Amino acid sequence: MLVAIACVAGCGSTPPAGAPTASIDDSPQAADATRSPPAAFEQRQRDRALGFMRQKRFAEAAVTWEVLGVLRPDVGEYRERLAETQRQIDAAVAERLPRAAQAAQRGDIDAATQHYLAVLALQPQNEPAADALRALERERNKRNYLGKYSRFTITRRAIADAEMPANAGHMADRNDIEHAALLAGDGEFDEAIGLLERRLVADRRDAAARRLLASVYYRKAESLSSRDKSAAVAALEKSVRLDPVEPIAAARLRQLKGGSVAAPATPVR
Amino acid sequence: MMACAIVGVIAACATQEPAPPAMPASKAAVAVALPTAGRVLGRSDRFVIYQPAAGDTLRSIAARFLGSESRDWVVGDFNGTAQADVDRPLVVPLKPVNPIGVYADQYQTVPILCYHRFGNGNGNGNGNGNGKMVISTANFAAQLDWLARNDYHVIPLSQLVAFLEGRQAVPKRSVVITIDDGYESVYRYALPLLRKYGFAATLFVYTDFIGATDALSWAQLQDMAASGLVDVQAHSKTHRNLIERDAGDPDERYRQMLETEVRGPRETLERRLPVQVRHYAFPYGDANQSLLDLLARQRYQLGLTVNPGGNAFFAQPLMLRRTMIYGDQDLGTFKLKLQIARGSMLP
């Protein structure tokens, strides 16, 4: 049996050159980085593991101690270091998880997210923490995006107009409306305006393009109002001309002309 | 009995080159010729520590231990290296160590790039009158070339499914390419470049557009689907905004509209092309809970918005973020959009 154990420890890998056997010296410091690639590898891994421990990056440290244990199953210290690191991970996770749950309960999604991320940085396989993060992300999407126009420059009427039945020849026009919306949503107002104005040159009766253009001018005005009031007023005037029945742009224009640059009372939707 | 055990141990130990896991015949057929074996310095059920032989590469090591040379990134990412060196033993993780990519200071995200049209100009996408929505072939080629030269891995969109479930890691520098609408310019200009670099892309088409002016034909779509690089998926039937609902619109009519826009394109595409439709890009990037519920019932796996940012493992599969790529963006701007990690501010 002893023969077998010795074999397990000694074969299948060539021990680092000059590394003592477990029965003589358990210290891995004997590994000499200048003598062989395996010994140098061991030394590098050992340095990494200690560095991770100092940085409290326990998950990375645990993996590195585990690798060292695979390299040198004869060295008891590596097993002990791994076990100790695992204990520290368990303790840190036990401290973090309740804080994460408390933050989630009080609706503080960002704090809860960071706590769960901290848990997973320690224990990447922690399924409850991973599931909790997924649930938080669903909640975040529900709050911020679901059911809302991600391109909020678009008025409902503009979209509805764009969705009037069209034959295949007009499909590209419909794409233009979406593309202008995407551009405006990324703050590319002038590009969206250019695209829509070309549409209106081609078809002055294109109500969807006209109303979307009015909406983009409104958003452009909002982006300008704090730094260039006269340009913002000019953009709002265009918006009102394009869509005279839209009350919010007209109200904002009166507000700006009256001297106030406060934010609009009601966002355009 | 003990003798048998000892012999067994010795036999196992003496085998320096463990048998690779079984791999599909197609993978085996293209596997690289293995160089002379290096030395296995240690092995457990989770790790192999391997000292490469002269001529070894990360690809040959991946083929030897992970069953496929295409998994070279597993070795490279774990060891933080792009090459094998006889003087530097490597750790080969046999099982995913951190498939979710969460670390103390940051977590992995996968950017999904969103393109629309392509043009033949050399300039900034203004070649055919559609401004920033058109990417010139010169710009697209420069972007793909930059990705290739900087060790990015363009992965198929479908590979995100296992990543989001926490089952499989993806390369640290992963990026997904998607193209919306189904313009003919995709076939004319983008496909040759995708072929040149061997990069996968997902093409989201709305089926009413197919065959229209400027749009792809069914024959072109079949060619693209057969290329093995382009995965054709659904972008609705009509391209309308699916969260738009007129006041007073009865629930039943709205439900029927969603059904038409969700099931219709899948049935059409699967009938006409050799594809399985499992992913859906929302027109205008907009979705609501009714739409997500329907997608789930219809067995869609991934839904794509245009909300910007990369996707962590905990991203909602039916609400993935995408990054718009515009025709006037230079390479510097393109690089900034490749969000492959986010910092954690751990409290």
Whether residue A59 lies within 8 A of chain B, CB to CB, comes out as yes
What's the pLDDT at A204? 86
How far apart are alpha carbons A160 and A146 in whole angstroms?
19
Which tokens in the block code for residue A235? 């953009």
Q: Where is average pLDDT lowest: A197-201, B5-9, B149-153, B201-205?
A: B5-9
What's the pLDDT at A202? 85
- What part of A 92-111 touches B (C-beta under 8 Å)? 99, 111
What's the pLDDT at A170? 58
User: Which chain B residues have a beta carbon less than 8 Å from that of A67?
Assistant: 47, 49, 91
Residue A121 and residue B89: Cβ atoms within 8 Å?
no
How far apart are alpha carbons B42 and A14 in whole angstroms?
8
Backbone torsion region of residue B202, taken as left when φ is above 0, otherwise alpha when ψ lies between -120 and 50, otherwise beta: beta
Give me the total of CB pairs closer than 8 Å, taking one residue from chain A and one from chain B: 213
In a domain, B171, yes or no: yes
Whether residue A2 lies within 8 A of chain B, CB to CB, comes out as no
Q: What is the dihedral of CA A56, A60, A66, A68, to 10 degrees?
A: -90
Encode pLDDT of B270-305 as tens digits. Answer: 999 999 999 999 999 999 999 999 999 999 999 999
Residue ranges, CATH 1.25.40, chain A:
156-257
Q: Where among B31, B64, B93 does a domain terminate?
A: B93
What's the pLDDT at A173? 65
Residue B208 and residue A8: Cβ atoms within 8 Å?
no
In a domain, B4, yes or no: no
CA distances from B40 to B13, B50, B272 (A): 10, 5, 51
Whether residue A114 lies within 8 A of chain B, CB to CB, comes out as yes
Encode pLDDT of B92-108 as tens digits. Answer: 999 999 999 999 999 99
In a domain, B207, yes or no: yes
How far apart are alpha carbons A147 and A144 in whole angstroms?
9
Higher pLDDT, A205 or A41: A41
User: Which chain B residues have a beta carbon less than 8 Å from that of A70?
Assistant: 42-44, 46-47, 49
Is residue B165 located within the same domain as residue B42?
Answer: no
Give the rounded percent of residues in chain A with a pLDDT score beyond 90: 52
Encode pLDDT of A59-91 as tens digits. Answer: 999 999 999 999 999 999 999 999 999 999 999
Is residue B84 located within the same domain as residue B120?
Answer: no
Residue of B nearest to A112 (CA): B347
Q: How far apart are the first and last CA of chain A?
A: 79
Taking residues B128-146, report their average pLDDT. 87
Q: From the list B86, B131, B315, which residue is nearest A194 (CB)?
A: B131
Is residue B55 located within the same domain as residue B119?
Answer: no
What's the pLDDT at A55? 94
pLDDT confidence band for B128 (50 / 70 / 90)? very low
Q: From the list B49, B208, B285, which residue is nearest A150 (CB)?
A: B285
In a domain, B321, yes or no: yes
Distance of alpha carbon A19 from its chain centroid, rounded?
46
- Three-state secondary structure string covering chain B: CHHHHHHHHHHHHHCCCCCCCCCCHHHHHHCCCCCCCCEEEEECCCEEEEECCCCCCHHHHHHHHHCCHHHHHHHHHHHCCCCCECCECEEEECCCCCCCCECCCEEECECEEEECEEECCCCCCCCCCCHHHEEEHHHHHHHHHHHHHCCCEECCHHHHHHHHCCCCCCCCCEEEEEEEECEHHHHHHHHHHHHHHCCCEEEEECHHHCCCCCECCHHHHHHHHHCCCEEEEECCCCCCCCCCCCCCCCHHHHHHHHHHHHHHHHHHHHHHCCCCCCEEECHHHCCCHHHHHHHHHCCCCEEECCCCCCECCCCCHHHECCEECCCCCCHHHHHHCCCCEEECCCC
User: Which chain A residues have a beta carbon less than 8 Å from that of B284?
Assistant: 149-151, 154, 159, 178, 181-182
How far apart are alpha carbons B283 and B270 in whole angstroms?
20
Residue A63 and residue B97: Cβ atoms within 8 Å?
yes
Residue of A nearest to B40 (CA): A13
In a domain, B3, yes or no: no
Token pair 């074996």 is found at B37
Query: What are phi and psi for residue B287, nearest 5 degrees?
Result: -145, 160
Residue of B nearest to A48 (CA): B79
What's the pLDDT at B248? 81
Is residue B149 located within the same domain as residue B85?
Answer: no
Number of domains making up chain B:
2
Query: Shortest Cα distance from B5 to chain A (angstroms)?
Result: 8
Residue of A nearest to B15 (CA): A12
Q: Where among B37, B66, B93 does a domain terminate?
A: B93
Asked whether residue A159 carries a pLDDT value surpassing 60, the answer given is no
Helix (H, G, I), strand (E, B) or coil at A27: coil
Taking residues B163-191, report their average pLDDT. 97
Provide the CATH number for the domain formed by A156-257 in this structure: 1.25.40
Residue B102 and residue A175: Cβ atoms within 8 Å?
no
Is residue B170 located within the same domain as residue B316?
Answer: yes
**Residues belonging to chain B:** 347
Q: How many CA atoms lie within 13 A of A108 on its CB side?
A: 11
Taking residues A102-129, report their average pLDDT. 95
Residue of A nearest to B91 (CA): A67
CA pseudo-torsion sign B92, B93, B95, B98? negative
pLDDT confidence band for B36 (50 / 70 / 90)? low
Encode pLDDT of B10-34 as tens digits. Answer: 333 333 333 334 433 333 334 445 5
What interface predicted TM-score (ipTM) does this complex get? 0.85
Encode pLDDT of A211-265 as tens digits. Answer: 889 999 999 999 999 899 999 999 999 999 998 887 888 999 998 888 655 555 4
In a domain, B214, yes or no: yes
What's the pLDDT at B345? 56
Mutation site for B-interface testing, chosen from A44, A75, A120, A164 by largest number of B Cβ within 10 Å:
A120
Query: What are phi and psi for residue A152, nearest 5 degrees?
Result: -75, 5
What integer best gives the mean pLDDT of chain B?
88
pLDDT confidence band for A150 (50 / 70 / 90)? low
Taking residues A9-34, report their average pLDDT. 39
Encode pLDDT of A160-185 as tens digits. Answer: 555 544 444 456 567 888 999 889 88
Q: Where among B48, B71, B93 does a domain terminate?
A: B93
What's the pLDDT at A2? 35
Query: Shortest Cα distance from A47 to chain B (angstroms)?
Result: 15
DSSP string, A202-254: H-TT-HHHHHHHHHHHHHHHHHHTTT-HHHHHHHHHHHHHH-TT-HHHHHHHH
Higher pLDDT, B328 or B110: B110
Is residue B179 located within the same domain as residue B69?
Answer: no
- Three-state secondary structure string covering B215-235: ECCHHHHHHHHHCCCEEEEEC
DSSP string, A157-216: HHHHHHTS---GGGHHHHHHHHHHHHHHHTT-HHHHHHHHHHHHHH-TT-HHHHHHHHHH
How far apart are alpha carbons B318 and B64 in whole angstroms?
37
Is residue B69 located within the same domain as residue B111?
Answer: no
Residue A159 and residue B43: Cβ atoms within 8 Å?
no
Is residue B72 located within the same domain as residue B135?
Answer: no
Query: Shortest Cα distance from A117 to chain B (angstroms)?
Result: 7
How far apart are alpha carbons B244 and B291 in whole angstroms?
11
State which residues form the domain around B303.
106-343
Non-local CB neighbours of A231 within 8 Å, separated by 6+ positions: A221, A224
Is residue B174 located within the same domain as residue B32?
Answer: no
Residue A70 and residue B49: Cβ atoms within 8 Å?
yes
What integer best gives the mean pLDDT of chain A?
80
In a domain, B99, yes or no: no
In a domain, B216, yes or no: yes
Residue A145 and residue B133: Cβ atoms within 8 Å?
no
- Helix (H) / strand (E) element for A95: namely helix A76-105
Domain containing residue B179: CATH number: 3.20.20.370
